[in-house]
A = this chain, B = another copy of it.
């Protein structure tokens, strides 16, 4: 099973590395990438400064695997990768990176959206929103 969870934020250097790794796959003509970035939302006038992610990893990993399988079944893609942060990710930093590649562009947009929506809906990941006064709330996906 492919490793999805990474400790802390996803760096732009990591993303660049993954792009480079696909340049030898010359049957690929199109990549689509999704990056989830921690937003400095205001919650009752207090700014979110970070999200601390936890996950039920033993349940989450098989679900990521099922999502991958279903994306390959539905769309003619060459490869896909999912990376999700655990631990603290500060505002402006990246917590989710989905990378879809295919010979032709038409499928990569829908495959990307489907994957992101499935992750949001099905994967047991939890997010503690740390506010500027060190209080916190709990993030819920909508």
Residues of A within 8 A of B (CB): 12-13, 15-17, 19-20, 22-40, 91-94, 103, 105, 108-110, 112-113, 116
For A112, the closest partner residue in chain B by CB is: B109
Which one of B16, B29, B91 lies within 8 Å of A37 (CB-CB)?
Answer: B29
Q: Are B29 and A92 in contact (CB under 8 A)?
A: no
Q: In the complex, what distance in Å separates the CA atom of A25 from the CA atom of B113?
A: 23
What would 7 A/B residue contacts be, using CB atoms closer than 8 Å?
A: A12-B16, A12-B17, A23-B37, A30-B35, A32-B34, A109-B110, A109-B113
Number of copies: 2
List of 9 A-B pairs having minimum Cβ-Cβ separation, nearest first: A26-B40, A109-B113, A16-B16, A12-B16, A29-B39, A33-B33, A23-B92, A31-B35, A12-B19
Determine how close the nearest CB of chain B comes to the CB of A139; give it in whole angstroms.
11
Which one of B27, B39, B113, B116 lies within 8 Å of A28 (CB-CB)?
Answer: B39
Q: In the complex, what distance in Å separates the CA atom of A27 from the CA atom of B103?
A: 34
Q: In the complex, what distance in Å separates the CA atom of A16 from the CA atom of B13?
A: 6
Q: Are B24 and A92 in contact (CB under 8 A)?
A: yes
Determine how close the nearest CB of chain B comes to the CB of A88; give it in whole angstroms.
15
Q: Are B103 and A36 in contact (CB under 8 A)?
A: no
Q: In the complex, what distance in Å separates the CA atom of A116 from the CA atom of B36?
A: 21
Q: Are A36 and B91 in contact (CB under 8 A)?
A: no
